[in-house]
Amino acid sequence: MKPHTDIPASDLWQKLSETPRPTEVVDFPRADSRGNPIGKVRIQVLRMEEHDRARLTAQKKLRDNARALGFERLESADMDSPGVREVLGDMTARELLAMACLSDVSMSEDASSPFYPRIFPSAEGLSKVLSADETAVLFSLFTIVTNKFGPFENNIEGDEDAWIRRLAEGGDAFPLVSLPWPQLVRLTSLLAGRISTLYRILGSQWESLPDGSKSALANYSTDISYFGGQRESSDQGGSVGLVADELITTEQAARLAASLRP
């Protein structure tokens, strides 16, 4: 099979590395005369770059239409004012919804690769169809769907607990599989730091731990907490305190390496 030559290599790689993203069908935020939803809308989880694109697009449109807000032009200081930030937030929400809201019915004849077209061609098109209240309801549903399949991949450091829960549920769960390499490295570093801290605390308090806790930790090596320090004493299940600022000997390093083997 010959490689494509009519598109840039970066675009080709992004296409080849795409993975199915989660979607969820919800009620369209408008009711008929009987109070029933007039239809359904499929909301898809957006990737980090799409969130970034929505913010940048909204910011550019806001600057281009500064006169409508009573500004000759929007300076950086103006962008931080509460009123302008609120308008920018609303514009960003509409940009996100235009990308996230799809038809609930596939337009593809191939059931193995369904294609759901966008409902709104643009943020401006969305504004012509939905009222402000309907937009707010739809964005609330978008947030619920995003959080359900999250944590949000652009907030690695702020959502460490959420990432740990997601990893415990299964490492293949969205959005872990779609994280760019630098973010995977950052997430791994943050998790390693947390594990190291917990191991140090457990090691220093080992003798005071109840037997049930020691039994639960028996299959885990808390010796990692002693890199850079020297153990005073140890047993098969864990170790006791540290002698600060002392390097371990070669013999201790060999015993440590042996204890870490599967």
Q: Residue 183's CB: how many other CB atoms inside 10 A?
A: 16
pLDDT reported for residue 222:
53
Query: pTM of the predicted model, to two decimals?
Result: 0.58
Q: What confidence tens digit (pLDDT) does each residue in 39-88 have?
A: 999 999 888 788 889 999 998 998 888 877 777 777 777 777 888 888 89
- C-alpha 258/C-alpha 262 separation (Å) is 9
The per-residue b/e assignment along 15-29, b for 16 or more CB within 10 angstroms, e otherwise, is: eeeeeeeebbebebb
Q: Which residue has the higher pLDDT, 57 or 194?
A: 57
pLDDT reported for residue 95:
96
Q: Which residue has the higher pLDDT, 50 or 244?
A: 50
Has residue 133 got a pLDDT over 70? yes
Which stretch of DSSP H or E encloses residue 41? Answer: strand 40-44
Environment class of 226 (CB within 10 Å of its CB; exposed 0-12, middle 13-18, buried 19+) = buried
Q: What confidence tens digit (pLDDT) does each residue in 202-237 have?
A: 777 778 888 888 777 777 665 554 433 344 444 444
Q: What is the mean pLDDT of the chain?
A: 75
pLDDT reported for residue 242:
38
Q: What confidence tens digit (pLDDT) does each residue in 177-193 have?
A: 666 667 777 778 888 88
pLDDT reported for residue 160:
73
Which stretch of DSSP H or E encloses residue 188? Answer: helix 181-204
pLDDT reported for residue 103:
92
Q: Specify the length of the chain in residues.
A: 262
Tokens, residue 63: 């600057």
Strand-pair category, 23-27 with 40-44: antiparallel
pLDDT reported for residue 241:
38
